[in-house]
Amino acid sequence: MLWKSNGGGDFEQAPLGTHVARCVRLIDIGTQEGEYGSKRQVVVSWELCDELMTQGDFAGQPFLISKYFTQSLNEKSNLRKWLITWRGRDFTPEELEGFDAKNILGVPCLLSIIANEKSGKSMASGAMKLTKGHKAPAQITPTVFFSLEPGEFDRSVFDGLSDYYRTMIEASPEYQDLIKPKAKPVPAGPTDPDEWPAEDGPELDFSEEEDDGNPDF
């Protein structure tokens, strides 16, 4: 996956503030329809290294928080702005020609979490490079990388995603192109009429007949 120039339930909400976090998931959901038209999107997820859930089946596991981005490194794109502060520097012209998205997996950061104004739920609002000398704890959540690029598509990873993500991905044109059956090429027949196979049926008599004066057409 190269970058160029969530559904819900009542889950325990991640604590607000700034936390040491690590990128653990990168899910290409393809082109999705939104308020501002069709855009190729990706979901980036982080685990909060020092914050564990206390409720339900996930108690004892790190909080996970995700954000949707349009897959673009245009200078005005939200993704590029996030990555610049996360990396602590801008992109070189060479990187803008094609930045390998997998490079961000496993990379720690300081992740800011605020409350969404409409829903009140926790949401990621920015990522910054860790301060010098600050080390993140070891990763706990398994890494997930899913791409809809033809050479990177992995059916087993797709099958392991949640129903929510699979439904969105299945609706994307990129997924449809991947699963569309390829038409088998029709073998070329002989070009010499003498090599054409004889058709089944009675043998026809092509002997000369008396001209009745009516031209053939």
- Cβ(60)–Cβ(52) under 8 Å? yes
The domain tally of the chain equals 1
Dump pLDDT digits (tens) for 39-79. 999 999 999 999 998 988 888 899 999 999 999 999 999 99
Tokens of 129: 């490079």
Supply the pLDDT for residue 204: 38
Dump pLDDT digits (tens) for 177-198. 998 866 666 666 555 555 545 5
Supply the pLDDT for residue 217: 26
Supply the pLDDT for residue 37: 87
215 belongs to a structural domain: no
Task: Please check the confidence at residue 201 and state whether its pLDDT lies above 50.
Answer: no
How far, rounded to the nearest angstrom, does the alpha carbon of residue 99 sit from its chain's CA centroid? 15
Q: What does the pLDDT average to over 128-134?
A: 89
CA distance 179 to 2: 21
Task: Please check the confidence at residue 145 and state whether its pLDDT lies above 60.
Answer: yes
84 belongs to a structural domain: yes
185 belongs to a structural domain: no
Alpha-carbon dihedral angle through residues 18, 22, 27, 28, given to the nearest 10 degrees:
80
How far, rounded to the nearest angstrom, does the alpha carbon of residue 66 sit from its chain's CA centroid? 14
96 belongs to a structural domain: yes
- Cβ(126)–Cβ(82) under 8 Å? yes
**Residue-range definition of the domain harbouring residue 164:** 2-179
CA distance 191 to 207: 26
Phi (first) and psi of residue 82, to 5 degrees: -60, -45
CA distance 155 to 178: 11
The pTM for the full model equals 0.77
204 belongs to a structural domain: no
Task: Please check the confidence at residue 209 and state whether its pLDDT lies above 60.
Answer: no
Higher pLDDT, 81 or 201: 81
210 belongs to a structural domain: no
CA distance 212 to 37: 71
101 belongs to a structural domain: yes
- Distances, alpha carbon 108 to alpha carbons 14, 32, 66, in Å: 17, 28, 14
196 belongs to a structural domain: no
